[in-house]
Amino acid sequence: MTGTTVEFGRSAGDYARHRQGFPDSFFRRLGGLGLARAGDAVVDLGTGTGLLARALAARGCAVLGLDRDPAMLAAARTAGGGPRYLEAPAEATGLPGGSADLVTAATCWHWFDRAAAAREAVRLLRPGGALLICSLDWQRLPGNVCEVSVGVMRRFAEAAPAGQRGTFAFPDWLADLAEAGLRDFEAFSYCEPLTYTQEAWRGRVRASRFAGPVMDAGTLAAFDAALAEALTAAFPDDPLQVDHRIFGLVARRP
């Protein structure tokens, strides 16, 4: 094992090939909130390989994706799809103030200095603009694909998801946003399965924070083999229906 430092760039290939973005239902909800309109200027913080950035660009937004990991940005640029990309941290982007209609952070807000990132989002937003914090997480239910996968992961990972199967509550986020000057909070959450082939799901799991970004090559190979065996035994049908939780929190600049 390589220790507990999480280096997503080490799994940029799996991340880019196998990690799915938000489903269409998510973007319909954004539309209902008046977000991500064609022509909107969007700054996507912690863009990774650009999954959300590309989806927003496909809907007519002018998107700039930011990340501090050059390997992830290289994968994002290779994928193309319309966004521009810049290597920069979420807490100090160096971009002009008042230049964005929408600032987004997809499944990454927990990695930031949240108070500093909230202040930077307010600086970037035009009056009336919005910050969207969103997350696409595994929904672990007894005996489902996610639960089986995590069970295998615990045999190989130095750290793994805790026994709790997860909730929709992120209670400490609102204070940072309010102190930064954001208002009119609105949150939504729901569950939806995503379809993965067995091979693609294994790649998705390898790209998770508890596997490829922290495991050495030998451990990762052994984990992947054990996961393949467990999935084939428990779920012989291919493709898989993988339960996910989708969360969104919108806060607006007055």
**Host H or E run for residue 192:** strand 183-196
Q: What is the dihedral of CA 202, 65, 37, 57, to 10 degrees?
A: -60
Radius of gyration (Cα) for the chain, nearest Å? 18
pTM of whole model > 0.85?
yes
pLDDT above 50 (res 3) = no
**Host H or E run for residue 100:** strand 100-106
Average pLDDT over residues 2-8: 67
Q: Return the pLDDT at 157.
A: 86
Contact 44, 83 (CB under 8 A): yes
pLDDT above 80 (res 110) = yes
Instruction: Decide: helix, strand or coil at residue 105.
Output: strand
CA distance 57 to 54: 5
C-alpha dist (Å) from residue 195 to 138, 140, 152, 239: 12, 15, 20, 7
Nearest to 155 by CA among 243, 225, 233, 236: 225
Percent of the chain whose pLDDT exceeds 70: 94
- Residue-wise pLDDT for 161-197, tens only, equals 655 455 555 557 889 999 999 999 999 999 999 999 9
pLDDT above 50 (res 40) = yes
Tell me the domains of the chain and their CATH numbers.
8-252 (3.40.50.150)
